[in-house]
């Protein structure tokens, strides 16, 4: 009987009724099972002699190429039909963008990190997750991949039809101001990059083993939801490479008049997301060394 009481007491102590929550749980460092990775140097010349550096850039090029190819073709399948009821519609376009991001992040995350978006790369650079050398290389490869992807779509659809359907280019739709478009791009990119930070957080990855496996899912779903919300406003950019590739291949005033919005908006949104995650969510600047 006495031994039984000891077992009950031990169980009560091992599994206390009140568990720490919120900031109290975050402050318990005794059970810390992860280490904050050291930030990379701003410039890393040794990367330029590493095959893994160029392999990662090639992965970003191919992923962005496939992203533009599938998504712009989906857009054309909708806009060329006489009735959207005969096509996948706006929801299908949103699924194409979100689904491709889910698949491509899953495929390339282990090679390059699966950015596929200069705004994501910019946000991660601001958070000191990669060097300036790698960030610039990624952005160049992403833009080149997007241009090639849009170019292949133009080859399939033909020059005349491609021009008639605006080439899948981003612009602020009638009824909305440039300020509306800029705001939509800032908030939409904030949602995406904040999701990227949360889904790939080192702390969560260490304590929840399922997080790295599922990381592409919330990222793709965030892209899907943002497209549902902002396709009527700007066609949804939130990816400067996507907007640049379509604009260059389309090469009409309509594609260039508002183009600055699809660089300034995503970069502001990415910067705000990086600031929010690093300072507010993770409180990294306030942690003791």
Mean pLDDT of successive 10-residue stretches along the chain, which has 289 residues: 53 44 41 65 84 95 97 83 66 93 94 95 94 95 97 90 87 95 97 93 61 79 96 95 96 93 97 93 67
**pLDDT reported for residue 247:** 95
Q: Report the pLDDT value the prediction gives residue 21, as an integer from 0 to 100.
A: 38
What's the pLDDT at 212? 55
Which of 66-84 are b and which e, b meaning 16 or more Cβ less than 10 Å from the residue's Cβ? Answer: bbbbbbbbbbbebeeeeee
The CATH architecture to which 50-281 belongs is Up-down Bundle (1.20)
pLDDT of residue 33: 54
- pTM of the full structure: 0.83
> What is the model's pLDDT at position 160?
85
**DSSP symbol at 129:** S
- Domain range list for the chain: 50-281
Residue 163: Cβ within 10 Å count: 15
How far, in Å, CA of 23 to CA of 127, rounded?
Answer: 22
C-alpha triplet 52, 222, 134: angle, nearest 5°: 20
Three-class SS state of 42: coil
Predicted pLDDT of residue 281: 83
Long-range contacts of 30-38 (CB under 8 A, 24+ apart): 33/206, 33/207, 34/202, 34/203, 34/205, 34/206, 34/207, 35/202, 36/202, 36/284, 37/202
Rounded (10°) CA dihedral 104, 165, 83, 93: 20
């Amino acid at each position: 009987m006495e031994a039984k009481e000891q077992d009950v007491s031990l169980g009560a102590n091992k599994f206390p009724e009140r568990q720490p929550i919120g900031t109290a749980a975050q402050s318990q460092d005794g059970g810390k099972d992860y280490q904050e990775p050291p930030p990379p140097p701003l410039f890393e010349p040794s990367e330029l002699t590493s095959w893994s550096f160029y392999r990662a850039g090639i992965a970003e090029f191919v992923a962005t190429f496939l992203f533009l190819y599938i998504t712009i073709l989906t857009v054309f399948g909708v806009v060329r039909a006489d009735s959207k009821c005969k096509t996948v519609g706006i929801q299908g376009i949103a699924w194409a963008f979100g689904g491709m991001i889910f698949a491509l992040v899953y495929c390339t995350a282990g090679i390059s990190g699966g950015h596929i978006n200069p705004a994501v790369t910019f946000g991660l650079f601001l958070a000191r997750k990669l060097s300036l050398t790698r960030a610039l290389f990624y952005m160049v490869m992403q833009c080149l991949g997007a241009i090639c992807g849009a170019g292949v779509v133009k080859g399939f659809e033909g020059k005349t039809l491609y021009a008639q359907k605006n080439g899948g280019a981003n612009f602020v739709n009638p009824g909305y101001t440039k300020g509306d478009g800029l705001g939509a791009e800032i908030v939409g990119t904030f949602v995406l990059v904040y999701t990227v930070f949360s889904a790939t957080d080192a702390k969560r990855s260490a304590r929840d083993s399922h997080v790295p496996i599922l990381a592409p899912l919330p990222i793709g779903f965030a892209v899907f939801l943002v497209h549902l919300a902002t396709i009527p406003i700007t066609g949804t950019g939130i990816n400067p490479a996507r907007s640049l590739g379509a604009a260059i291949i389309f090469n009409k005033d309509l594609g260039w008049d508002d183009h600055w919005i699809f660089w300034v908006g995503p970069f502001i949104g990415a910067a705000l997301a990086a600031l929010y995650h690093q300072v507010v969510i993770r409180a990294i600047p306030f942690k003791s060394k």
